[in-house]
Amino acid sequence: MIRLEQVAKVYSLGRVDVRAVDGVTLAIGQGEFVALVGPSGCGKTTLLNLMAGIDRPTSGEVWLDGECLDRLSDDRLTRLRRIRVGIIYQFFNLLPTLTAWENVALPLLLDGLQGSEIEGRVWRQLERVGLTHRAHHWPHELSGGEQQRVAIARAIVAEPRVVLADEPTGNLDSVAGGSVLELLQALNREHRQTIILATHSEEAAGRAGRIVSLRDGKIERIEKA
Amino acid sequence: MRTWTVLRLIIVRNLRASPVRTLVTVAGVAIGVAAFTAIQAANESVLRSFQRALDVVAGRTTLQISAGELGIDERLLPAVQQVDGVIAAAPIIQAVAPVAGRPGKALVLLGVDLFAEDPFREYRMADGDRPPRIEDLLSPDAIFVTAAFVKENGLQRGSRLTLLVGSKRRRFIIKGLLAPQGPARAFDGNLAVLDIATAQVALDKVGQLDRIDLVTREQVSLSQITASLARVLPPHLAIQRPDRRSQQVEKMLRAFRLNLTALSAIALLVGLFLVYNAVSLSVLQRRRQIGILRSLGLTRATVAALFAAEGAALGLVGSLLGIGGGLLLGRALLQSVSHTVSALYAYLRVEQIQVGPGLLLLALSLGTAGALIASLAPAYAASRIAPSEAVHLGFYERRWIRRSPLAVLLGTLLLVASFLFSRPGPVGGIPLFGYLSLACLIFGVACFTPQLLRWAGVGLHLLCGGRRAPLLQLGAGNLSSQVGRNAVAVAAMMTAIAMLVGLTLMIESFRRTVELWVEQTIRADLIVSPAARFVKGSGARLPEDFVEAATRIEGIAALDPFIGRRVDLLGQEALLAAGDFEVVARHGKLLFRAGDSPAILTRAKGEGGVIISESLALATGLKEGGRLPLDLPSGRVELPIAGVFYDYATDGGKAVMDRALWTRVWGKQGADVVAIYLAPGADEASVRQRLEALAGQDGAIVISSNRALKAKVLEIFDNTFVVARALELIAVLVAVLGIFNVLWASVLSRQREIGILRSVGATRAQVARVVLGEAGFLGLMVEALGLLAGIYLSLILIHVINKQSFGWTIQFQFSWWVLLKSSILALGAALLAGYLPARQAARLNIPAAVAFEG
């Protein structure tokens, strides 16, 4: 499903080069729930960005569903993100000028789907995250947990095969965080969606099937939960 | 020292960190200041060269006797010389003569009594040129020109020089070259001196003088001498100091200069909107920084001072650049301004830009102080930021949204004020309230922009409902949530478009009015005039024998000889003229404010009255049925006013009497122009041939057809508005920079949002379309407001400013072409301004943007 081969990402910060990801090789199968753990700056977010196709590796190859991402044009990569990958961020990243409903509908609208088709899918996802009653609220009218659930609905509305979550509970209290993790687990269980979760939290990592520990951009160890 | 360090760390660093915004703002101020400086520099150069020419030609003259262009009987000279206190009196003839075969080139002829000149003016022959012999001085073809003129035209001493003088070609021989001293310094060296008798013959002014210059005894006061002179001279002669003439010129050009100044001030105003905008954006983007600084102990006053200093710094740098650019631009404009002044007011040669330190200082302080004032409101807003408030997004915008109803109220009050200011008359001949009305209009409409943007954003949001058009939805959301920054850009560009629409409508209406007037009043089949008349001040006329002989040419049904002289009428420089009222009543037509043309003309002829132009009526308060006081050589008379007619040909107004009355007062003086009406079936070509034959081999006359004359009038009209049209475009350019600034800042501040869009699957093109969509929407908003404001602006220009400045009635004409042009411009300019920000948005680095915490 996802394969990384000797992937490195080097950022140039003025006169210093920083190797955010350093020779990572990893394969993740369809329907797996993988947690990426490690201290701040170990390369979790960079690795997620590379897998999502929103960043390109300095060297090595990233494969998704048999396609090498580095060889895709920007438009193909964009389409891939729209349909096959869903992304969830720590800071929710909802567009403040769109309502919850509109935020969820966005990937489908960008893909040019018709109204009736969108309607059904958006309501279905909002129902799944338990927010149909908040559909027409603005992001600033929602709690943090609710905002993150809207972000999850948006990430899965196009029914992607992979959901990448970057510290999705980092900005939430334990109750809201717990419900977000349950949602992710349910997605994985019921729809066999591949979930890759970058987290600091041991509790969150404990819900994954495999835990990949990173340090200084390299894989330190991989263990089954 | 401490102040400078704080400024350097907080303001200079910030300006350097936002190079695009800094550059664009500085450029905007620079363009505004440049437009203002250029117009002022061109105007000042024109005035200065007039003054200089008058000064150097006047020399040591203390008093001058003149009768406008009516001329003085030379037999008065001995009486003047006898007056107590007069040391010397010199007769002068002065006229402008085009150089034959060199289009656009002309010489100012100074006819003087070479033996009486010593006390007045100094002439020196150019280096190496021997002094002229007495027979050279007095020979009837002798002329003295400047060494500079000779060099420029490839001539030399002894060369022949053909000038168009009066209605003839006159051949002169250059008998000597003048060094650049005394009068030879005037008119940029385009001056020729000749003996007064030669000048009188050449200009068909035998027995007449244009002026008598006097040098008087210092011990006797000028008022005493003036009083003594008045006792021996007829009442129609004016006795005045030479500098009085320069004041008259200044007065004559005042309306023309003021209009251009007002236009350039609008360009400056648009530039200052840009500073307001830039400092507002700076406050907006740095709210977090302000919060930190406040929590570190910076006082509110210091925060305000820092942002005001930022505005002033942008203004100062922009003004310095603008002054430099303005001087360059002024040089380019000078040609056009001096061309217009030469065509409409008086012959002038200005080749160099002459600017006093006063103007430079004015431009610098207007730009800098204006920028400082423009930055006060955002600086105040910055000072109100509480440390805790600063970290919340949108505090600034929410304040704008809260206050937008208040702005609507203020805008309404300003629009009411604009209407009220359009009612009163001029103050000292200046439409002061008219300009105030314009300013209230611009600021009034600007006040509506925040609320309108908000409504438009919300309306658009409701309209698309978010179901089908997410990109439109996003754009609408941005517009209504970022009211503050967008409102100022819309206001700036609206001002520019309003100016464009207003001026274009005014010019088109004016042109249409003149076209109609030309169509209805220019009815003659042929118009004959001396070739020299295309320069102002040539004084050229067709001799009486030509006019009389022309009446006998076969095929001519009637002719109307027109003669006019510039004189002082009730303190107003105006044209006193004469035509054949009987011929005009029968063949021609004048458009009268009230009444029928033939009836009024017949009555005027019968009762020995005059008809006056609308602009003279407005400037002097004279009306139909009133009386026009005139000082004639025989004494003061009061002529009945038979009618007031529309006239767009003469600046300053016109009073016309029947030719018979003119001849009774001044004798037969020929004509400036003869309008010829052909008999039915007459052959135009053969009449032309006979007229040319009548003028003789040396004749320098121009015979224009009806169509050619009409075209010429419109050509002069169009040339007059070249500078105004250039200024319109400058204002639009500045406004484009404003829109660019806002969109650029908007893209920068929405990096996170754009990153999210890209990460959930928006393509580069889709992101670019969001930004371009916003730009287009701003453009539409600008167009709608600019068009409304522009129509009102044109009404103020037509009914208040032009009417009060020049006294012309212009019929308002709406033109769809103006609507189309301004729409294309507003939308095109906005999209153009959005191009780079859209590209920037599309190329955003997604991981960095998403990680960015806005």
B763 contact residues in A (CB cutoff 8 A): 74-75, 78-79, 110
**Does A122 contact B at CB distance below 8 Å?**
no
Instruction: Collapse the DSSP code of B526 into the 3-class scheme (helix H, G, I; strand E, B; otherwise coil) and give the result.
Output: strand
- DSSP-assigned letters across all residues of chain A: -EEEEEEEEEEEETTEEEEEEEEEEEEE-TT-EEEEE-STTSSHHHHHHHHHTSS--SEEEEEETTEEGGGS-HHHHHHHHHHTEEEE-TT----TTS-HHHHHHHHHHHTT--HHHHHHHHHHHHHHTT-GGGTT--GGGS-HHHHHHHHHHHHHTT--SEEEEESTTTTS-HHHHHHHHHHHHHHHHHH--EEEEEES-HHHHTTSSEEEEEETTEEEEEEE-
- Does A97 sit within 8 Å of B473, measured CB to CB? yes
**Does B466 contact A at CB distance below 8 Å?**
yes
What are the C-alpha distances in Å from B333 to residues B68, B137, B329, B724? Answer: 30, 40, 6, 11
* ipTM higher than the 0.85 cut: no
**Does A52 contact B at CB distance below 8 Å?**
yes
From the CA of B370, how many Å to the nearest CA of chain A? 36
- Does B477 sit within 8 Å of A97, measured CB to CB? yes
- Does A107 sit within 8 Å of B470, measured CB to CB? no
Which residue has better confidence, B258 or B646? B646
pLDDT of B465: 62
- Does B847 sit within 8 Å of A54, measured CB to CB? yes
C-alpha to C-alpha distance for B92 and B59, rounded to whole angstroms: 13
Give the nearest chain A residue to B469 (CA atoms): A109
**Does B467 contact A at CB distance below 8 Å?**
yes
From the CA of A84, how many Å to the nearest CA of chain B? 10
**B128 phi and psi angles, rounded to 5 deg:** 85, -10
DSSP state of B812: -
**What token pair was written down for A144?**
């943090």
Consecutive H or E run containing B675? strand B673-678
A18 contact residues in B (CB cutoff 8 A): none
For the stretch B742-763, pLDDT in tens is: 777 777 777 778 888 888 888 8
* Nearest residue, CB atoms, B466 vs list A45, A102, A158: A102
- Does A102 sit within 8 Å of B753, measured CB to CB? no
First to last CA, chain A: 20
What are the C-alpha distances in Å from B185 to residues B121, B190, B290, B458? Answer: 12, 9, 61, 68
Question: Residue B715: pLDDT band by 50, 70, 90 thresholds?
Answer: confident
For the stretch B452-479, pLDDT in tens is: 888 888 887 777 765 556 677 777 777 7
Give the nearest chain B residue to A156 (CA atoms): B760
**Does A1 contact B at CB distance below 8 Å?**
no
**What token pair was written down for B38?**
């250029």
Interface of A with B in 158-197 (CB under 8 A): 158
For the stretch B112-124, pLDDT in tens is: 998 888 889 888 8
B472 contact residues in A (CB cutoff 8 A): none
pLDDT of B640: 94
From the CA of A98, how many Å to the nearest CA of chain B? 7
Question: Residue B32 pLDDT > 90, yes or no?
Answer: no
**What token pair was written down for A98?**
């769109």
pLDDT of B255: 67
The residues, ordered by sequence, that sit 6+ positions from A43 with a Cβ below 8 Å of its Cβ are: A9, A20, A21, A22, A24, A214, A216, A217, A218
Identify from A55, A109, A140 which residue to disrupt to test chain B contact, counting B C-beta atoms within 10 A and taking the largest count: A109
Other residues' Cβ atoms within 10 Å of the Cβ of residue A111: 13
Q: Which stretches of chain A score pLDDT less than 70? A: none
**Does A105 contact B at CB distance below 8 Å?**
yes
pLDDT of B851: 67
Burial of A179 (0-12, 13-18, 19+ CB in 10 A): middle
Question: Residue B398: pLDDT band by 50, 70, 90 thresholds?
Answer: low
pLDDT of B393: 46
pLDDT of B390: 46
- DSSP-assigned letters across all residues of A60-93: EEEEETTEEGGGS-HHHHHHHHHHTEEEE-TT--
A83 contact residues in B (CB cutoff 8 A): 761
Please check whether residue B40 is in contact with residue B359, taking contact to mean a CB–CB distance below 8 angstroms.
yes
Please check whether residue B35 is in contact with residue B268, taking contact to mean a CB–CB distance below 8 angstroms.
yes
**Does B481 contact A at CB distance below 8 Å?**
yes
For the stretch B235-292, pLDDT in tens is: 888 888 888 777 777 766 776 777 777 777 777 877 787 788 778 777 777 777 777 7
From the CA of A42, how many Å to the nearest CA of chain B? 16
C-alpha to C-alpha distance for B524 and B521, rounded to whole angstroms: 9
Among A45-49, B58-62, B121-125, B570-574, whose mean pLDDT is lowest?
B570-574
Instruction: Collapse the DSSP code of B135 into the 3-class scheme (helix H, G, I; strand E, B; otherwise coil) and give the result.
Output: helix
**What token pair was written down for B478?**
């941005």
DSSP state of B313: H
Question: Residue B545 pLDDT > 50, yes or no?
Answer: yes
C-alpha to C-alpha distance for A60 and A202, rounded to whole angstroms: 30
Identify from A78, A98, A116 which residue to disrupt to test chain B contact, counting B C-beta atoms within 10 A and taking the largest count: A78
A101 contact residues in B (CB cutoff 8 A): 466
C-alpha to C-alpha distance for B224 and B226, rounded to whole angstroms: 5
Measured CA angle at A100 (ends A94, A102), to 5 deg: 90
pLDDT of B570: 82
Strands in B191-195's sheet, in edge-to-edge order, are B160-165, B168-178, B142-146, B191-195, B106-112, B86-98, B211-216, B63-66, B238-240
Facing residues of B611 across strands?
A: B643, B656
* Nearest residue, CB atoms, A54 vs list B476, B478, B846: B846
Look over chain B and give the mean of its residue pLDDT values, rounded to a whole number.
Answer: 84
**Does A120 contact B at CB distance below 8 Å?**
no
A94 contact residues in B (CB cutoff 8 A): 756
- Does B850 sit within 8 Å of A96, measured CB to CB? no
B761 contact residues in A (CB cutoff 8 A): 78-79, 81-83, 107, 110-111, 158
Q: Where are the alpha helices (DSSP H) in B384-421?
A: 395-421
For the stretch B649-672, pLDDT in tens is: 776 789 999 999 999 888 888 899
From the CA of A141, how many Å to the nearest CA of chain B? 14
- Does B762 sit within 8 Å of A96, measured CB to CB? no
**Does A96 contact B at CB distance below 8 Å?**
yes
* Nearest residue, CB atoms, B766 vs list A45, A96, A110: A110
Give the nearest chain A residue to B754 (CA atoms): A95
From the CA of B846, how many Å to the nearest CA of chain A? 6
**Does A206 contact B at CB distance below 8 Å?**
no
Question: Residue B847 pLDDT > 90, yes or no?
Answer: no
pLDDT of B558: 92
Instruction: Collapse the DSSP code of B813 into the 3-class scheme (helix H, G, I; strand E, B; otherwise coil) and give the result.
Output: coil
Q: How many CB pairs under 8 A join A and B?
A: 90
Write b or e for each residue in B559-596: b if 16 or more Cβ atoms lie within 10 A of its Cβ, otherwise e: bbbbbbbbbbbeebbbbbbbbbbbbbbebbbbebeeee
**Does A83 contact B at CB distance below 8 Å?**
yes
- Does A55 sit within 8 Å of B763, measured CB to CB? no
- Does A106 sit within 8 Å of B760, measured CB to CB? yes
From the CA of B763, how many Å to the nearest CA of chain A? 6
* Nearest residue, CB atoms, B477 vs list A75, A98, A118: A98
* Nearest residue, CB atoms, A106 vs list B470, B476, B850: B470
Please check whether residue B528 is in contact with residue B559, taking contact to mean a CB–CB distance below 8 angstroms.
no
For the stretch B305-333, pLDDT in tens is: 888 988 899 899 999 999 999 988 888 88
Q: Where are the alpha helices (DSSP H) in B721-815?
A: 722-749, 751-759, 764-796, 803-806
C-alpha to C-alpha distance for B158 and B174, rounded to whole angstroms: 5
pLDDT of B854: 35
- Does B853 sit within 8 Å of A91, measured CB to CB? yes
pLDDT of B252: 67
Backbone torsion region of residue B115, taken as left when φ is above 0, otherwise alpha when ψ lies between -120 and 50, otherwise beta:
alpha
Instruction: Collapse the DSSP code of B556 into the 3-class scheme (helix H, G, I; strand E, B; otherwise coil) and give the result.
Output: strand
- Does B753 sit within 8 Å of A110, measured CB to CB? no
Consecutive H or E run containing B654? strand B654-658
pLDDT of A24: 93
Identify from B397, B760, B763 which residue to disrupt to test chain A contact, counting A C-beta atoms within 10 A and taking the largest count: B760
Please check whether residue B180 is in contact with residue B147, taking contact to mean a CB–CB distance below 8 angstroms.
yes
Backbone torsion region of residue A203, taken as left when φ is above 0, otherwise alpha when ψ lies between -120 and 50, otherwise beta:
alpha
From the CA of B436, how many Å to the nearest CA of chain A? 41
Residue with tokens 């060269």: B49
pLDDT of B278: 79
Identify from B463, B751, B759, B845 which residue to disrupt to test chain A contact, counting A C-beta atoms within 10 A and taking the largest count: B759
pLDDT of B852: 45
